[in-house]
């Protein structure tokens, strides 16, 4: 997969995407990440890319032409139009399911807005979808783009050491992940659950599944509304639901 970031702050994006797991994946060729400076496509001597909005109002808008020229240049490089995502608080909220869908594309381009946003005509002409990472507003689209790019990159073959690294994580299978423990077995009087120390893999898997169910019920019960469960799971969920609804003494 190739990921392109269209931004006023390519150095910021490059710094993040060059580190840790994503950085190592880039070095070995599992993914390709390219950052593009919108100002390089400004057609004025001061490299200005923003202007006042028609009709008045606070703030500045990114102009259409520099962004269009940047995207046209990218399309020429690729030989085809990438799937263009505009990071915006007006977009649909990113979910793990949608991350998996985005991971199927060969080319993703993230357009990072700034100031009060971008000229609407760019959205009409180039953008395939608008995405948000939550119902709040940031100073620019770089952080949401990096969050989304990181989440998508982890789904690509060769980025993580093993597919199980993400298959058992929260949200991947509709449940929150079970708790984890490491050495020492007793820390400040708190002991690791006995089942994890006994070495019986079947019991460990059963415990982990039940813990995922319980955590989801306790922390994110809405995630269970449309899920299908075995009879044993349903019995456990009913038991825990009754216990959680009882007032504490």
Q: What is the pLDDT of residue 164?
A: 45
What span, in angstroms and rounded, lies between the C-alpha atoms of 31 and 102? 14
Measured from the Cβ of residue 9, the count of other Cβ atoms closer than 10 Å reads 17
Query: Average model confidence (pLDDT) for the chain?
Result: 93
What are 9-55's pLDDT values in tens digits? 999 999 999 999 999 999 999 999 999 999 999 988 888 999 999 99
Q: What is the pLDDT of residue 36?
A: 98
DSSP assignments along 48-116, one per residue: --EEPPTT--SS-EE-HHHHHHHHHHHHHHHTS--EEEEEEEEEEEP-HHHHHHHTT-SEEEEEE-BTT
Q: Which residue has the higher pLDDT, 249 or 42?
A: 42
Judged against a pLDDT cut of 60, whether residue 170 lies above it is answered with no
Give me the residue label for tokens 């400040």: 188
Give me the residue label for tokens 């949401």: 144
pTM of the model: 0.85
């Amino acid at each position: 997969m190739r990921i392109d970031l269209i931004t006023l702050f390519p150095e910021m994006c490059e710094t993040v995407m060059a580190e840790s797991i994503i950085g190592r994946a880039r070095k070995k060729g599992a993914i390709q990440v390219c950052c593009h400076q919108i100002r390089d496509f400004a057609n004025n001597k001061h490299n200005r890319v923003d202007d006042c909005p028609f009709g008045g109002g606070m703030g500045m808008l990114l102009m259409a032409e520099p962004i269009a020229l940047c995207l046209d240049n990218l399309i020429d490089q690729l030989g085809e139009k990438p799937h263009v995502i505009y990071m915006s608080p007006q977009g649909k909220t990113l979910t793990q399911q949608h991350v998996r869908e985005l991971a199927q594309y060969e080319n993703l381009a993230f357009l990072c807005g700034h100031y009060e946003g971008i000229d609407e005509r760019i959205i009409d002409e180039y953008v395939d979808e608008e995405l948000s990472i939550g119902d709040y507003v940031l100073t620019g689209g770089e952080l949401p783009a990096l969050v989304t790019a990181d989440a998508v990159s982890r789904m690509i073959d060769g980025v993580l050491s093993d597919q199980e690294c993400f298959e058992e994580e929260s949200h991947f299978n509709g449940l929150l992940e079970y708790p984890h423990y490491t050495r020492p077995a007793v820390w400040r009087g708190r002991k690791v659950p006995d089942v994890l120390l006994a070495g019986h893999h079947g019991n460990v898997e059963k415990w982990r599944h039940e813990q995922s169910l319980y955590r989801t019920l306790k922390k994110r019960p809405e995630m269970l509304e449309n899920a299908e469960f075995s009879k044993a799971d349903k019995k456990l969920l009913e038991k825990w639901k009754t216990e959680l609804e009882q007032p504490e003494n």
